[in-house]
Amino acid sequence: MKALVIGKGGREHALVHALLESSFINKVFALPGNQGMGKEVTQLSVEVESASIHKACIENDIELVVIGPEDPLVQGLASQLRQKGLAVFGPGEQGAKLEGSKIYSKKFMEKHKIPTAAFEVVSSVEKTLEKASNFTPPYVLKADGLAAGKGVFICKDKTELEKAATDLFENKILGEAGREALLEQFQPGYELSFFILTTGADYVALPMAQDHKKIFEGETGPNTGGMGTVAPMKISDSLYRTIIEEVVEPTQKGIQAESFDYKGVVFIGIMVTDSGPQVLEYNVRFGDPETQVLLPLLDGDWGEAFYKISQGEKPQLKWKEGFATCVVLAAEKYPESSVKDVVIEGDFSGSKEAYFLHAGTKLTEENHWVTNGGRVLNAVALASTLQESIEKAYKQADRVCWPGRQMRKDIGKKALDSLK
Ligand code: GLY
């Protein structure tokens, strides 16, 4: 079977990498993909829109489409392609609203009794300040729509809250995505990312991964898309059971009760608080860079798993014993911006257990790899212990360098400490 991956970043390179290893899939296409995905992958250049993609699939005999990023999912691409007869891994438009609208998502949690922080819907500075009296600081203001990771404001007091609300509702810094927002109770605790694959009717859980969201060591500096991940994360059996009973099962039941056309992944952002797990948010796509460490842990065939999900059939997944680490190499000035076209020096080769995935690179006419985005490369490594996988990932990362390269040196440190 031939498969198409939609998207172009490190997550999509991880998906392509997994499908290239599949014996179920004999040819991989990417739209648009990136040059780092290699010559085995055919990059398509049609518009990301159902009629054009369907035509390209017919012309190239593609049967399975795996959609990476949230934007096309929220625009309904998965359901449109399914209606045209393609096998698609990704939720339809209604299900994708769980990520596309934070307000819709909260109402889903409320309706299906899924634990989450208390909230109010606000759409003006005045209302935000009035409703703030229902909460204790710090205040959390979340733009309703997709905002590429820039839609959450943690405000230490009312002055900061007023500024955030003014930016959203009056300065319209996020445009339509910030027309309405959630004002939420801040919940102290620690974060876990939980992934399930769902057919709509049934689900299977993946191992847990831990992201490192801040740009600098020790979780300091501004937020990024993610600077590195490790998996599997170990938590106590009792916490795992609580998460399954209080969060995962009600989420799955809610998806079923709403009759969503959901055949894909649900990425549940959880805050573990003193009063138990609380859902922070749903994402309807794989995490980036979580995918880079989750996919290589499968002792099986991702092509077959994605196809089964797309057909409403629950796959039986078996996991390897080892650990995976991903270290993100980012461009100078990331996350505020990124310095592009800087030549990357070094050796891009790897092995089955340690390799690069490309996220924001470009090949020049002179055949040099240059930076072409915020997160540039992912160094991924697998090993039998977490310590070893971390060491191997850093060794891989150090095969390349460029002026201004940013890399956190403490990926996996917290997970290692928790194993002691
Ligand atoms: N790594 C976080 C995300 O993909 O949203």
Q: Tell me the mean pLDDT in the region 57-70.
A: 98
Distance CA 394, CA 411 (A): 9
pLDDT band (50, 70, 90) for residue 257: very high
Please measure the distance between the N-terminal and C-terminal CA atoms of the chain and give it in whole angstroms.
Answer: 45
Give CA separation, 91 vs 88, 101, 311, 368, 400, in Å: 9, 14, 12, 38, 37
Q: What pLDDT is recorded for position 135? A: 95
Q: What pLDDT is recorded for position 420? A: 78
**Reduced to 3 states, what is the DSSP secondary structure of residue 89?**
strand
Distance CA 266, CA 255 (A): 10
**Reduced to 3 states, what is the DSSP secondary structure of residue 382?**
strand
pLDDT band (50, 70, 90) for residue 148: confident
The yes-or-no verdict on residue 30 having pLDDT over 90 is yes
CB-defined site of ligand 1, < 6 Å: 211, 225-226, 283, 287-288, 290
In this prediction the pTM is: 0.96
Q: Tell me the mean pLDDT in the region 227-244.
A: 96
Q: Tell me the mean pLDDT in the region 41-55.
A: 98
Distance CA 294, CA 378 (A): 14
**Reduced to 3 states, what is the DSSP secondary structure of residue 402?**
coil
% of the chain with per-residue pLDDT over 90: 97
Distance CA 409, CA 390 (A): 10
CA 328 to chain centre: 14
The Å distance, Cα 46 to ligand 1 centre, comes to 26
pLDDT band (50, 70, 90) for residue 315: very high
Q: What pLDDT is recorded for position 358? A: 98
pLDDT band (50, 70, 90) for residue 190: confident
The Å distance, Cα 60 to ligand 1 centre, comes to 31
State which ligand 1 atom lies nearest to the alpha carbon of 11. Answer: 4
The Å distance, Cα 11 to ligand 1 centre, comes to 10
Distance CA 234, CA 150 (A): 29
Distance CA 194, CA 205 (A): 8
pLDDT band (50, 70, 90) for residue 279: very high
- Tens-digit pLDDT profile for residues 336-394: 999 999 999 999 999 999 999 999 999 999 999 999 999 999 999 999 999 999 999 99
Are 349 and 379 spatial neighbours (Cβ–Cβ below 8 Å)? no
Q: Tell me the mean pLDDT in the region 143-153.
A: 91
State which ligand 1 atom lies nearest to the alpha carbon of 149. Answer: 5
Distance CA 214, CA 220 (A): 6
Q: Shortest CA distance to 77 belongs to which of 62, 89, 60, 61?
A: 89
- Number of neighbouring beta carbons within 10 Å of residue 225: 21
- Number of neighbouring beta carbons within 10 Å of residue 134: 11
pLDDT band (50, 70, 90) for residue 191: confident
- The angle that helices 10-20 and 302-310 make with each other, rounded to 10 degrees, is 100
Distance CA 317, CA 325 (A): 20
Give CA separation, 149 vs 185, 311, 358, in Å: 19, 31, 20
Whose Cα sits closest to atom 2 in ligand 1?
Answer: 287
The Å distance, Cα 151 to ligand 1 centre, comes to 13
Distance CA 55, CA 58 (A): 5
Q: What pLDDT is recorded for position 89? A: 98
Distance CA 238, CA 228 (A): 27
Give the pairing type, strands 345-346 and 152-155: unpaired
Mutation test residue for ligand 1: of 266, 283, 375, the one with most atoms within 8 Å of CB:
283
* Alpha helices for 21-177 (secondary structure H): 50-60, 70-74, 77-83, 93-100, 102-111, 125-131, 158-165
Q: What pLDDT is recorded for position 418? A: 84
The yes-or-no verdict on residue 419 having pLDDT over 90 is no
Distance CA 261, CA 79 (A): 7
Mutation test residue for ligand 1: of 223, 267, 285, the one with most atoms within 8 Å of CB:
267
Whose Cα sits closest to atom 4 in ligand 1?
Answer: 287
The yes-or-no verdict on residue 165 having pLDDT over 90 is yes
pLDDT band (50, 70, 90) for residue 6: very high
